[in-house]
Amino acid sequence: MALDLDFFRKKLEEEKARLEGELGTIAHRNPDAPEDWVVTPPDLNVARSDKNEAADQEEELENAASIEYNLESRLRDVNEALEKMRQGKYGICAVGGEPIDEKRLRANPAAITCVNHTK
């Protein structure tokens, strides 16, 4: 039975839009590499900030960077899955070349490996 590519394309496109929306709240696209996102630092007025405020702002920036990294990583996976779809290679394990089980793809439409080859 063939995969319903329209179903999976829609799921991937929806997730892509959601991820880009979330990234847009904490980061901006790198103008030199549009697929790369850069955390938008908070407005820092270090001259008037006390040490605790500066530490809080630094911690907030570190947290945003961690969130940005995870969102960008997932967005990369989604874009990779969409590209595989365009190439006619969607749903094929990147390690063994066997079909990825539909249940796995329903749980994670951006999966690139079958269950046996999951990291």
Contact predicate 64/85, CB 8 Å: no
Dump pLDDT digits (tens) for 44-65: 555 555 777 767 777 788 888 8
> Does the predicted model carry a pTM greater than 0.85?
no
- Confidence at residue 78, expressed as pLDDT on a 0 to 100 scale: 97
Delimit the domains of the chain by residue range.
5-89
Per DSSP, the residues of the chain read: ----HHHHHHHHHHHHHHHHHHHHHHEEEETTEEEEEEE-PPP--TTT--HHHHHHHHHHHHHHHHHHHHHHHHHHHHHHHHHHHHHT-TTB-TTT-PBPPHHHHHH-TT--S-GGG--
Flag residues of the chain having pLDDT under 70.
1, 42-49, 54, 119
